[in-house]
Copies of this chain bind each other. A is one copy, B any other.
Amino acid sequence: MKEITQIEKNDSTEEKIKQAAREVFTQKGYAATRTRDIAEASGYNLALINYYFRSKEKLFDIVMLEHLQTFVHGILGIVDDPATTLQTKIKILVTHYIDMLIKNPDLPLFILSEIKQDPSMLISKVGVGKMQHKELYIVKQWNEMVAITKKPSINPAHMIMNVVGLTIFPFIGSPLIRNRTGMSVAQFNVLMEERKTLIPIWINAIINIE
């Protein structure tokens, strides 16, 4: 029987291995990661990794599941809140994601790379079938807005790609951007902080084109 006997749960060997695995997997991807890399990064022996997690793939699944949860964590509460306007929702969303991405800059490239390798993983390994078409409040608000402003309505998919692209892309392109401009991570993060207020303004401008 496994019980929490230690003061901190993250002090446990299992947790430290998982932490090391998270770092190595996220940086190098599944294929480029060797189980020995995780062993070295964790400070433990190779066999111990398999003792705790049975296989490289099982350990990867845990890491990937946690990452996906990190990614969608909290957004349902934001987009389905009847108390906030559409503009406020966008502002909160962008701020929320930029904060998260500054802490986890290589999450998007990792997730999108691995999903591309095996898109079925989304349903098989992770249960991302929920939250589907629950008629979120943000959708209601979007429809109301396009009803009022009688402009030629563009596909909502465009606006989703715009918000997500403006927010996430800089982090995906960060290695290239910083290499070309000679920017430091700190300088880059300053720009990202700026984008917290800029992106909602830009999205607003895009929506309100005369």
Contacts and interface: CB of A to CB of B under 8 A. Distances in A.
A80 interface: no
B162 A166 contact: yes
A185 interface: no
Copies per assembly: 2
Interface string A104-132: 00100101110111010010000000000
Interface in A10-39: 28-32
A146 interface: no
Interface in A161-210: 161-162, 164-166, 168-170, 172-173, 175-177, 179, 181, 183, 191, 194-195, 198, 201-202, 205-206, 209
- Size band of the interface chain A makes with B: 35 or more
A154 interface: yes
A134 interface: no
A175 B115 contact: yes
Given A113-B113, A205-B205, 16 more contacts: A29-B113, A109-B109, A115-B175, A115-B176, A119-B175, A119-B179, A155-B194, A157-B177, A161-B166, A161-B169, A161-B173, A162-B202, A165-B166, A165-B173, A169-B169, A205-B209
13 contacts: A28-B117, A29-B29, A116-B175, A119-B175, A119-B176, A122-B176, A154-B198, A157-B183, A161-B166, A161-B173, A164-B169, A165-B165, A202-B206
